[in-house]
Amino acid sequence: MNVSEKFYLGLDVGRTIRGALVSADGRIINQQKVIAEVSDPRIFISQLIAVINDLRRSVETQGRAFAVGIGWAGLVNQSAQRIEVMPNMIDLSAFDLHDEIEQATGLPVVFDNDANVAAYGEWRCGAAQGFKDVFFISIGTGIGAGLILSGQLQRGSRGFAGEFGHFKINLDGLECACGSTGCLETLASGPNIVRRVREQLFSDPTFSVSRLAMDMEGILTCERVFQAAMERDQLAVGVLKETAKVLGAAVASVINLLNVEVIVMGGGVMAAGDLILRYIRKEVQKDAIAQAQESCAIVMAKLGQDAGIIGAALLARDTLPE
Ligand SMILES: [Zn+2]
C-alpha cells in the first residue's frame, strides 16, 4: 500500500453539506452528506469542520489529505475569501470562516462559488475536459454558472461573475430572490417550472381544487412534470418546450457574448436529458449568431451531483500550496 498517496477534500455547501475525499486524479474515495443546521452559525461551522476531519481521518492509513476546497451556494468575495450572501439560508457575513476552518483543521483552504467549483470539476474530469473556453450551467432549485476562458476559471473582479440565473429574460416578469424582476431563474428553475405547471393546471380559480393545488409542494415536482412529458402529456410537453425556449434564448446570448467552444448543462432540471436538450439546441439555432454557434457544442454534464465536490477538491489541488 502506498502510504504517501495524496488526497484532497472537496465540499459542496448548501442546505446539504456534501463532502468528499478525492484522489489526485479526481476519483471520489469516500464521501459524507449532512443536513446543514442553518438556525445557528456556530453549529453549522462545527458541522463543516467535523465533515472535513472525519474524511481526512478515513485515509490516514493510505496517505494524507493536503488541502480543502469549498464551494458555497452563495456569493463569495474572492479577494477576502468571505461569504457575502447565502440566500434563504444562513448569514455568515460576520464570520471569518476561512481562517477558522484553516486553524481548526490545519489544512490550507480555498473558497469559491458552488457553480464555479462544479464548472471546474466538469472541466478537469467531466464533459468539458480538453476544452479551453467553457460555459457551465447548473439548473436546479436555482440557476448558476461557471466560466472558463483561455483555460482559466473566470470569477470577475470580486468573485461574483457567472450569475446566469439573473439574466433578465422578461421585462414584466415576476420578482426574483435577487431583488430584480423577470430573471431567467423566475421561469426556468425547478420550483418555477412546477409553479408554471400549477398555474396552468389550476388557472380557473372557481374550481375548489384550485386552492388545494397551491398545497402540492413535494407532490408535484419538476422531475414528475418531465416524466409526464416523456410520456407525452400535452401540458407537461408544453411547459418543457417553454422552459427550453427561455433557456435557449439565454444560452444563445452567452454564445453571442463569449464565443465559447462548449456549453455544459447540468443540475436536476437537466435530468430530463435529451428530451429538453434537443429543444434547447433548436432554440439556440434560431437565436444565436450562426458563426458563433457552429463552433459551439451544447452537451450534458457528466459528473451529476458529484461535479461540485470533485471540482472543489481539484481546485484546492491546483491552487493551494502544499
Ligand atoms: Zn434574479
**CATH at residue 86:** 3.30.420.40
Residues 247 and 134 grouped into a single domain: yes
Residue 183 confidence (pLDDT)? 96
Ligand 1 center from residue 213 Cα (angstroms): 26
The position carrying cell 459524507 is: 32
Ligand 1 center from residue 293 Cα (angstroms): 26
Ligand 1 center from residue 69 Cα (angstroms): 27
Residues 76 and 221 grouped into a single domain: no
* pLDDT above 90: residue 198: no
How confident is residue 219, by pLDDT bands cut at 50, 70 and 90? confident
Mean pLDDT (the chain) is: 92
Q: Percentage of the chain with pLDDT > 90?
A: 78
How confident is residue 199, by pLDDT bands cut at 50, 70 and 90? confident
Ligand 1 center from residue 129 Cα (angstroms): 30
Ligand 1 center from residue 138 Cα (angstroms): 15
Ligand 1 center from residue 11 Cα (angstroms): 25
Mean pLDDT of 262-276: 93
Residues 224 and 256 grouped into a single domain: yes
Mean pLDDT of 76-91: 88
Q: What is the rounded distance in angstroms from the CA atom of residue 322 to the CA atom of residue 313?
A: 13
Quick one: cell of 234? 400535452
Residue 153 confidence (pLDDT)? 97
Residues 154 and 292 grouped into a single domain: yes
Structural domains of the chain, count:
2
The position carrying cell 440557476 is: 143
User: Residue 166: which residues within 8 A CB-CB, separation 6 or more?
Assistant: 176, 178, 180, 183, 184, 185
Mean pLDDT of 45-62: 93
Ligand 1 center from residue 267 Cα (angstroms): 18
Neighbours of ion ligand 1 (CB under 5 A): 166, 176, 178, 180, 183
Closest to 99 in 3D by CA, of 90, 91, 109, 89:
109
Residue 61 confidence (pLDDT)? 85
Residues 82 and 186 grouped into a single domain: no
Residues 50 and 148 grouped into a single domain: no
Please give the angle made by the CA atoms of 177, 139 and 14, to the nearest 5 degrees. Answer: 65
Ligand 1 center from residue 185 Cα (angstroms): 6
CA dihedral 168, 174, 177, 181 (to 10 degrees): 40
Residues 85 and 160 grouped into a single domain: no
Residues 215 and 294 grouped into a single domain: yes
Half-sphere exposure in the Cβ direction for 276 (13 Å, CA): 30
Q: What is the rounded distance in angstroms from the CA atom of residue 240 to the CA atom of residue 79?
A: 40
Residue 315 sits in which domain range? 5-120+306-319
Residue 290 confidence (pLDDT)? 96
Under DSSP, the state recorded for 305 is G
For the whole model, what pTM was predicted?
0.93
Ligand 1 center from residue 147 Cα (angstroms): 19
Residues 140 and 185 grouped into a single domain: yes
Residue 72 confidence (pLDDT)? 95
Q: What is the rounded distance in angstroms from the CA atom of residue 10 to the CA atom of residue 64?
A: 14
Q: Tell me the per-residue pLDDT of 104-129, one tens digit each, with 9 for 90 and over.
A: 999 999 999 999 999 999 999 999 99
Residues 229 and 295 grouped into a single domain: yes
Mean pLDDT of 74-99: 89
Residues 97 and 138 grouped into a single domain: no
Ligand 1 center from residue 172 Cα (angstroms): 13
Mean pLDDT of 302-307: 96
Residue 37 confidence (pLDDT)? 94
Residues 105 and 232 grouped into a single domain: no
Ligand 1 center from residue 163 Cα (angstroms): 9
Ligand 1 center from residue 131 Cα (angstroms): 29
* pLDDT above 90: residue 208: no
Contacts by 99-104, CB closer than 8 A, 24 or more apart? 100/45, 101/45, 101/48, 101/49, 101/52, 101/68, 101/70, 104/49, 104/53
